[in-house]
Structure 1
Amino acid sequence: MPKNSAPAHSDSARPGPAARPGNTRRGLLFGGAAVSATALLAACTSNEPTTKDTPAADSRPTADTRPGKKVTIGFAGPQADHGWLNAINENARNRAEKYTDVTLDMTEGSNDTATQIGQIQTLINKKVDVLVILPADGRALTQTGLAAMKAGIPVINLDRAFASPQASRCYVGGDNYGMGLSAGRYIGEKLKNKPGAKVVELAGVDSLELTRLRTQGFDDALRNYPGIAKVARQAAEFTVESGQAKMAQLLQAQPQFDALWNHDDDQGVGALRAVAQAGRKDFLMVGGAGARSAMDAIKADDSVLKATVLYPPTMSASAIDLARALGQGKGIGGIAELEIPASLTLYSAVVTRDNVDDYLPTGFK
């Protein structure tokens, strides 16, 4: 990810349940393991009898693939200049290909707001049935979402939240506060019986709301473990280079600690380089986001990296399922409501050596 660009994760996403800090996102929220997030969407139905689904190629749950009303879904996202964003596009494309009744019209993607607005306006002019939009800048794209909704095209706002709830029919995103909470709980359980345990934090870009939320979730979790102290925090920039440089500084300043919470697996690649160069093996590391490289390292169990907390790019596959259901006038299986929810927040599962094989198909490069 370019040094000064917005990170692959939501730069304005609102976390988890309404009680969580910083969240004003409306609507019904759902939690579930990242791999099973789309299980909520299994068997998208109207009044049709349910049948067993054909398993997806990667064995993850998939919605009812029986042909229904044909739906054209417009998909607009930012430029895929980061592994997570590229995985977002791939998950959307692969999901759409599972349906014979879905046509996916995907833009090239751009980090330039004016360009992305123009791309979405083209999709509106084509009169697509549903729009899925991952904005380069949620606030800047709000008026475009409003315009689509006014034109009668329902919008699914993916990850980076619009400034107005009226700009979309449904929000689908990850849980930044929940990432920190899950990381803190995992580390807390590992160290709860160690007197005087110390932890450090390698955060993301401090000017971003998502970084603040991840730190806040982490700190809130650690409050449940009074014997554990966070002794240092260093902000990086979601890049390999910054991860290596900032981790080297942490290692020099902190000659002894027991655990590290790193916000992003891309910068974690650099962090692991710094750890190896320093010859340190005296602590455990928890990463963030769910990169394939992190999962491979966890499975190999040959480094300090023992877990990563997901920010699942499978959310775009869920968005395609929801868009199809919207276009066909259906609800989703597993809940009583006749309509799709107003909001779907994915759970930040912790991937460890014990469950890594389940999550490997979701790991992004």
Structure 2
Amino acid sequence: MPESSRRGLLFGAAAVSTGALLAACTSNEPKNARSDADTAPAADDKPGAPVTIGFAGPQADHGWLNAINENATSRAARYSDVTLEITEGSNDTAAQIGQVQTLINKKVDVLVVLPADGKALTQAGLQAMKAGIPVINLDRIFASPQAYRCWIGGDNYGMGLNAGRYIGERLKDKPDAKVVELAGMDNLELTQQRTRGFDDALKNYPNITKVARQAAEFTVESGQAKMAQLLQAQSAFDALWNHDDDQGVGALRAIAQAGRDEFLMVGGAGAKSAMDAIKADDGVLKATVLYPPTMAASAIDLARALGQNKGVGGMAELEIPASVTLYSAVVTKDNVDAYLPTGFS
């Protein structure tokens, strides 16, 4: 997803408390992954000291980004000891810096920030830390580790790796298999990481060749236009990896208009529309690789633990970890029912 506008094993959504949250990180395929909305804090997770959490998130101009904001607010509402001070989401770095400074001036106990631009917001993170307000840096990482107490986010390289492995296993017995890639915005590091992971996975399958790659812009319109170009240029291929389920809506339109169905498609992020299509199993879309927006719910759990001077259950340490990288689970027809409640619109 675009960094100005963006973004596994499922992590925060499967967590029922901060303790369960980090325990979930060790399992690759949870038996019962539930959305944050369907999950309550564990019975032994009793209210503690009051914590005011400041949340500076993105402008909700994309399904994934909207889900980030919803996961943060719904998770905070579950805790009687948490007060959430939330800013109006912004993709303008100057505006977001001002919002963070306002939260600092309000003397919140902990800050959770998903920066519009990690590098540009680094000074704001440093300012908060110097003011004695610990920062949970969500997804887009600040340029300095001194600007945050804990980073939690997705694994872009892992997304590509797992997409490539899934496609590789499906095509491993097909001679001279051909794959194409519908990427995100090429000027973003996250797009480059996803492509690198995908290419590295395909190195293990010498029978598979990536014959084309087209960059889109994480929008429905760009997905449709760029997919149409790929289809016109490639008369036949065996698999498509699309980096983002929002642009995948457009890609599927182009595929339907072209009347093509000779290949399998793998999406990215975990939109509900993609999961519905996977469950129906009546088209080319067979899987999606998660980049879970439930990381925002997990960030609230971590911020609460930090504000109450707690560690996390399942770990011996007295403190929360310095970083948490989420796993990019592959959702298929076989496990889609477990993940469907976490799909975002």
Tell me the TM-score normalised to structure 2 length. Answer: 0.92
* Structure-2 change in CA distance of 1:58 and 1:132 (3 Å): closer
1:307 and 2:287 are equivalent in the alignment: yes
* Structure-2 change in CA distance of 1:128 and 1:35 (3 Å): closer
Contact 2:3–2:140 at 8 Å: present in 1 too?
Answer: no
2:105 to 125, 130, 152: 125
1:42 and 2:19 are equivalent in the alignment: yes
Q: Which residue of 1 aligns with 2:342?
A: 362
CA distance in 1 between partners of 2:170 and 2:290 (Å):
19
CA distance in 2 between partners of 1:150 and 1:195 (Å):
59
1:178-327 aligned within 5 A: 178-327=158-307
1:71 and 2:69 are equivalent in the alignment: no
* Structure-2 change in CA distance of 1:40 and 1:174 (3 Å): farther
Contact 1:42–1:61 at 8 Å: present in 2 too?
Answer: no
SS across alignment from 1:268: helix
Q: Which residue of 1 aligns with 2:74?
A: 94
Q: Which residue of 2 aligns with 1:167?
A: 147
Give CA deviations for 1:125-149 in whole Å, capped at 9, x if unaligned.
1111100000111111111100100
Q: Which residue of 1 aligns with 2:83?
A: 103
SS across alignment from 1:266: helix
CA distance in 1 between partners of 2:226 and 2:289 (Å):
20
Q: Which residue of 2 aligns with 1:157?
A: 137
2:94 to 114, 136, 147: 114
Q: Structure 1 runs of 4+ off > 6 angstroms?
A: none
Give CA deviations for 1:143-186 in whole Å, capped at 9, x if unaligned.
11001000100000001110100000000100100000010000
CA distance in 2 between partners of 1:88 and 1:44 (Å):
17
CA shift for structure 1 position 7: 3.3
Q: Which residue of 2 aligns with 1:330?
A: 310
CA shift for structure 1 position 5: 7.6
Contact 1:265–1:287 at 8 Å: present in 2 too?
Answer: yes
2:60 to 77, 80, 88: 80
Report the aligned-residue RMSD.
2.0
Match for 2:323: what amino acid?
S
Match for 1:115: what amino acid?
A
Q: Which residue of 2 aligns with 1:25?
A: none
CA shift for structure 1 position 68: 0.7
1:6 and 2:10 are equivalent in the alignment: no
Which residues of structure 1 form unaligned runs of 5+?
10-30, 46-54
Give CA deviations for 1:196-250 in whole Å, capped at 9, x if unaligned.
1111100111111111100000000011111111111111111111111111111
SS across alignment from 1:171: strand
- Sequence identity, in percent? 78
Match for 1:320: what amino acid?
I
Contact 2:10–2:292 at 8 Å: present in 1 too?
Answer: no
CA distance in 2 between partners of 1:307 and 1:56 (Å):
19
Give CA deviations for 1:7-56 in whole Å, capped at 9, x if unaligned.
322xxxxxxxxxxxxxxxxxxxxx743466636832699xxxxxxxxx98
CA distance in 1 between partners of 2:269 and 2:220 (Å):
14
Contact 1:36–1:61 at 8 Å: present in 2 too?
Answer: no
Contact 1:37–1:318 at 8 Å: present in 2 too?
Answer: no
Contact 1:35–1:60 at 8 Å: present in 2 too?
Answer: no
SS across alignment from 2:15: helix
Which residues of structure 2 form unaligned runs of 5+?
23-33
Tell me the TM-score normalised to structure 1 length. Answer: 0.87
SS across alignment from 1:242: helix
* Structure-2 change in CA distance of 1:232 and 1:43 (3 Å): closer
CA distance in 1 between partners of 2:229 and 2:319 (Å):
51
